[in-house]
Amino acid sequence: MTAELFFQTVVNATYAASYMALIAVGFVLIFGVMGVVNFAHGELYMAGAYTVVALYADQGFPFFLSVAAGLAFVGVLGLLMELALFRPLRDNPLGGLIASIGFLLILQTIAVLGFGVRMKNVPPSTQDKLVFMDGVVLTYQRLYVIVAAVALLSALWIFLRKSKFGWALRACAQDREAAVLQGMSINNTARLAMFIGAALAGVAGALTAPLVSPTPYMGHPVVVSAFIIIIVGGLGSLEGAVLVSILYAFVHTFVTTLYDGTLANIVGLLLMLGVLIVRPTGLFGAKERA
Amino acid sequence: MHKPDSHSVNLAAAFGFVLLAGVLVVLPHLLSFSQQEVLVLLVINVLLVCSYRLLTLTGEWSLAHAVIMGVGAYTSALVAKKLSVPVPLAMLAGASMAGFLAFLLSFPLFRMKGFYFLIASFAAGEVIRLSWKWSDLTFLFGGPKGIKRIPSFPDFLSIDFYEPVNYYYLCLIVVTISLLILYRVEKSRIGLTFHAIHWQDKLAESVGVNTFRYRTLAFVFSAFFAGLAGALYAHYVGAIAPNRFSVEEMVYILIWAIVGGTATFYGPIIGVVVLTIVNEIVLRSLGVEEMRPMFYGALLIIAILFLPDGLESLVPKIKRLFGKRDKESNGSLASPQIAE
């Protein structure tokens, strides 16, 4: 492996880590507060990408306006899921998971009916790129994802530490009954967690749309990665999710570059199985859920 | 049925079974060719979803069942095609391989429970499925395109099993025998222990039940019959590919089981039969095949929200309706099937 290829792979892995972290952190937030494994999380990412297809590629709206619309639209989808699915099934964690599978199928079909099963090509919003070391390239399109991940996740971190809502969210994630007894509105915290979690997935999909050619089935590999990240990083740990996103993205990108993508997926899954075998309740998961 | 209340109930049940058998024998001759093909797949899917239920008896919901079915299909296809083993023997080899693989998988997987088991079974299944896709193993599994021109079931007494009707009868016999075995297992002491592990695993352990061994037993049994279903499928369709056993297919098994209900033996059968008929009649006649996932997704959500015990929970209600009219039976027909 030449130095140039090595650094190019590092740049690619940094980009991959950024969008995986956006998705995984939302996934963990929803699991932590609601106690539901949101199988449809990959389809929320897909919905964000198709918002950009519809507004930016088809209608010619400005790129960043479309990304903002994707964030808002997918956030609202999250609110809808909370209201229609997860709230009635609050005492039934496995039920919530199964309902999210049903919702996933509905979102996929809507994408197929609205946009067809074929890949959609989204033109890049800019041709600008950074070049360093005479050949290692970072396009602006990818840089946006990295910047957005750092900015949004930092904002979320500060929000969770400093604001009253943030305290409420973390309290609900730690012990729901106690939080309710302290007078916190479980509906409000659940809504907030769903909105933020879904919006993060949506913004990841919207920003990566020009880079990945959206299809209705693009959510599947994404949700598998999210599973691997949250199991290895520990359920309910946002910091763990970010750290493992970086670790997993590097392992996956390097194995893909050196060997092939299928082997990279197998390695990731074996990594997760290994963690589960050593710690049958997940790395930091003390209590049994679902 | 395990506790007959009176002779009349026994007679009614016997009459029902004779009627059912008659319908199943005559049915394919009333259908079009394409409907006959659907019927064959339906019978195979009945076995698949019933085998899945055996595992859910112990309280674990695996997401590897579609892949396990694939293991049976791939093994049977490869053994028949590359080793020229007769197809019936190859099918047994496929089912056995699926059972053996479940035995191996049980060591890591049954260290976990609930959500972690669900995720780990998903990961283990994906690893197996991706190995079929992996380019370095294409010489064996055929890569993403899978295996084509799988030998079909040989003619027997000049019966051509290439005909859907004949293959349907073959599947009907194999599946009926399998269901009888599954039913006997469930009603035996082993089956009762499965129930005990589901509802009170700590208590079961405290009276000396090796819960790990029984979970493994349920997993291996269920995998054997899933593998058999896969083998029946492979030699009928003639071509298999990794995507046929993906998580999307797993979702359909889940939907059949959940919409039908898993508390009774017949629940999953109701689920797969009703959903297949509705799918074939409603969706196909409306010409909206591409809406199928949405239809199934909506049904899944409606079932989990409004009918959490599945379609089977309607059966006692219907029976009670008839029971009221029929004074002699005193509503005894409405007695619950399984004490939970």
pLDDT tens figures, B255-297 = 899 888 887 888 889 889 988 888 887 777 777 777 888 888 9
d(CA A283, CA B2) in angstroms, rounded, equals 46
A248 with A45: CB under 8 angstroms? Answer: no
Using only C-alpha atoms, chain A has a radius of gyration, in whole angstroms, of: 19
Average pLDDT of the residues in B55-68: 88
Query: Is B298 in CB contact (< 8 Å) with chain A?
Result: yes
Q: What digits encode the pLDDT tens for the residues B188-197?
A: 877 777 777 7
Q: Say if residue B89 is in the same domain as residue B147.
A: yes
Query: Is A257 in CB contact (< 8 Å) with chain B?
Result: no
**Chain A: nearest CA to B229, how far in angstroms?**
24
The answer to whether residue A141 sits within a structural domain is: yes
B148, B48, A105, B125: CA torsion to nearest 10: -70
- The structural domain count of chain A equals 1
pLDDT per 10-residue tile (average), chain A, 290 residues:
85 91 92 86 95 91 93 95 89 83 93 89 83 82 91 91 81 77 80 93 93 90 88 79 90 90 88 82 50
Q: What digits encode the pLDDT tens for the residues B148-206?
A: 888 877 777 767 777 787 888 889 889 999 999 988 888 887 777 777 777 777 777 77
Q: Say if residue B262 is in the same domain as residue B232.
A: no
Q: Say if residue B273 is in the same domain as residue B308.
A: yes
The answer to whether residue B325 sits within a structural domain is: no
Query: Is B300 in CB contact (< 8 Å) with chain A?
Result: yes
Q: Say if residue B163 is in the same domain as residue B289.
A: no
**Chain A: nearest CA to B169, how far in angstroms?**
34
A113/B111 CB distance under 8 A: no
Q: What is the pLDDT of residue B29?
A: 74
B213 with B28: CB under 8 angstroms? Answer: no
Give the single-character DSSP code of A214. Answer: -
B135/A262 CB distance under 8 A: yes
Nearest one of A248, A280, A281 to A267, comparing CA atoms: A248
The answer to whether residue B25 sits within a structural domain is: no
The answer to whether residue B12 sits within a structural domain is: no
Q: Say if residue B272 is in the same domain as residue B236.
A: no
What integer best gives the mean pLDDT of chain B? Answer: 82
d(CA B246, CA B240) in angstroms, rounded, equals 12
How many contacts, defined by CB atoms under 8 Å, are there between A and B?
122
Per CB-CB distance under 8 Å, the chain B contacts of A110 are: 294
**Chain A: nearest CA to B104, how far in angstroms?**
14
Beta bridge partners of A131: A137
The answer to whether residue B82 sits within a structural domain is: yes
B110, pLDDT greater than 80 = yes
Nearest one of B46, B70, B56 to B270, comparing CA atoms: B46
| Distance separating the N- and C-terminal Cα atoms of chain B | 16
B234, pLDDT greater than 80 = yes
Q: Say if residue B240 is in the same domain as residue B267.
A: no
Per CB-CB distance under 8 Å, the chain A contacts of B125 are: none
Let me know if B247 is exposed, middle or buried by CB neighbors in 10 A (0-12, 13-18, 19+): buried
Query: What is the full DSSP assignment across A19-70?
Result: HHHHHHHHHHHHHHHH----TTHHHHHHHHHHHHIIIIIIT---HHHHHHHH
Q: Say if residue B106 is in the same domain as residue B232.
A: yes
The answer to whether residue B335 sits within a structural domain is: no
Q: What is the pLDDT of residue B224?
A: 95
The answer to whether residue B239 sits within a structural domain is: yes
Query: Is A277 in CB contact (< 8 Å) with chain B?
Result: yes
Query: Is A197 in CB contact (< 8 Å) with chain B?
Result: no
Query: Is B144 in CB contact (< 8 Å) with chain A?
Result: no
Query: Is B334 in CB contact (< 8 Å) with chain A?
Result: no
- The structural domain count of chain B equals 2
The answer to whether residue A121 sits within a structural domain is: yes
B127/A273 CB distance under 8 A: yes
Query: Is B305 in CB contact (< 8 Å) with chain A?
Result: yes
The answer to whether residue B172 sits within a structural domain is: yes
Q: What is the pLDDT of residue A285?
A: 52
**Chain A: nearest CA to B310, how far in angstroms?**
13
Closest Cβ–Cβ partner in A98, A101, A288 for B114: A288
Q: Say if residue B210 is in the same domain as residue B313.
A: no
Q: Say if residue B70 is in the same domain as residue B212.
A: yes
Task: Give me the interface pTM, i.e. the ipTM.
Answer: 0.85
Query: Is B291 in CB contact (< 8 Å) with chain A?
Result: yes
Q: What is the pLDDT of residue A284?
A: 56
Q: What is the pLDDT of residue B335?
A: 39
Q: Say if residue B309 is in the same domain as residue B220.
A: no
Q: Say if residue B267 is in the same domain as residue B241.
A: no
Residue of A nearest to B299 (CA): A102
d(CA A264, CA A266) in angstroms, rounded, equals 5
Q: Say if residue B236 is in the same domain as residue B256.
A: no
The answer to whether residue B9 sits within a structural domain is: no
Which residues span the domain enclosing A83?
A: 17-218
Q: What is the pLDDT of residue B146?
A: 83
Which residues span the domain enclosing B232?
A: 30-245
Query: What is the full DSSP assignment across B107-173?
Result: HHHTT--HHHHHHHHHHHHHHHHHHHH-GGGHHHH-GGG-B-SPPPPPPBTTB-TTSHHHHHHHHHH
